[in-house]
Structure 1
Amino acid sequence: MGSVFAAVLEEIAMKAILRSAALGLAAAMLMAGNAGTVHAAALVQISLWDKGAGTEMPMGLAYAAPGLDLAKATMGIKALPGTVKAGEVTFNVKNDSKDTVHEMIVMYLADPGKQLPYIEAENRVDEDKAGDKGEVSELDPGKSGTLTVELKPGKYLLICNVPGHYGAGMWAEFTVDP
């Protein structure tokens, strides 16, 4: 009887060892698989909007302008979400205008609260001096475009730099968290 009991114990022990080894192998495979996982880019939906080409464009609504009243804006940019984690960010941009060309440019704000460098004669931001990180160039009404960029933590401004549009309030603040 003792040898039968020993054989049963040996079989139980062997099954336990095999099960433990199988679980260990499965765990190792999961960890190895996750090590090569590419994290998906943060996805931001952008709407470029306006109240129509026939609407008078107010000026003086640029970011950080003194006495700024965005309630007067006849065009703008809406970003959802307005905050993402640092890393790869994909902007899906749609020009929701019925009759006006717009674009979206990502600007890094080295000094949040300070106005972007502006070229008065051209009625637009000086992109070279302002920290341009990428753009979806001029989109015809109803058209869409995509931009994927690597962004570090900080404050950004999304702008339309078609002459006059930025000064008419076509910008949105955007935050990248660590």
Structure 2
Amino acid sequence: MKKVVRNAVLSFAIMIMTVGAAHAASVVQVLLWDKGANMAMPTDLAYGPPNLDMSKATMGIKATPATVKAGKVSFRVKNSSKDTVHEMIVMNPADPGKPLPYVTVENRVDEDRAGDKGEVSELDPGASGVLTVDLKAGRYVLVCNIPGHFAAGMWTEFIVKP
């Protein structure tokens, strides 16, 4: 009888761990960086055009890992800047690889038309934030949409696999 009870308890524990693992979120570390507020910002590094020279970027986003499985994804975002506010928005463009809709007079992406899935908004220098979203398989773009930052190269592609 003890063996039957022990086996039932072990089976139940394995079932709970399996269910828990299936619902656990993938965790992505996101670093928002810049070379300092005194650096001139380029304006021609927006996502979309081929053959961009990203070595000119004075700002950027690094996501680790850059690929996860579909489901709940937790983005742990850190603004490593010493003097500039940044944010991170998850965009799911309708046509990946093409330029995101841009509002030139505001120097920012049109979030509604670009497929905004959620954000960690306006982090002060050194601050952190977390965003957890349910993502389907596809190509996404993580952007900072503070005016001028996106066109200065502050974006990165992010892949969600089935």
Shorter-chain TM-score above 0.5: yes
Partners of 2:60 and 2:39 lie apart in 1 by 13
Partners of 2:152 and 2:41 lie apart in 1 by 6
Partners of 1:67 and 1:22 lie apart in 2 by 64
Aligned counterparts, 1:104-143, within 5 A: 104-143=88-127
Q: How many residues are aligned here?
A: 161
Residues 109 and 154 of structure 1 are in contact (CA less than 8 Å); yes or no, is this contact kept in structure 2?
Answer: no
* Further displaced range: 63-72 or 89-98: 63-72
Q: Work out whether 1:33 is the aligned partner of 2:5.
A: no
Provide the residue aligned with 2:161 in structure 1: 177
Q: Which structure carries more helix by proportion? A: 1
- Structure 1: state its 5+ residue gaps: 1-17
Aligned counterparts, 1:17-32, within 5 A: 18=1, 21-22=4-5, 24-26=7-9, 28-30=11-13, 32=15
Instruction: Report the secondary structure of 1:164's partner residue.
Output: coil
Q: Would the alpha carbon gap of residues 124 and 35 (structure 1) be closer, same or farther in structure 2, given more than 3 Å must change?
A: same
Aligned-residue CA RMSD (Å): 1.8
Q: Would the alpha carbon gap of residues 30 and 107 (structure 1) be closer, same or farther in structure 2, given more than 3 Å must change?
A: same
Provide the residue aligned with 1:59 in structure 2: 43
> Is the radius of gyration larger for structure 1 or structure 2?
1
Which deviations, in whole Å up to 9, do the C-alpha atoms of 1:30-49 show, x marking residues without a partner? 45434653532111111110
Which deviations, in whole Å up to 9, do the C-alpha atoms of 1:73-96 show, x marking residues without a partner? 010001111011111111111111
TM-score by length of 1: 0.83
Q: Would the alpha carbon gap of residues 94 and 20 (structure 1) be closer, same or farther in structure 2, given more than 3 Å must change?
A: closer
Partners of 1:65 and 1:36 lie apart in 2 by 43
Q: Which amino acid aligns with 1:109?
A: P
The partner residue of 2:151 within 158, 162, 167 is: 167
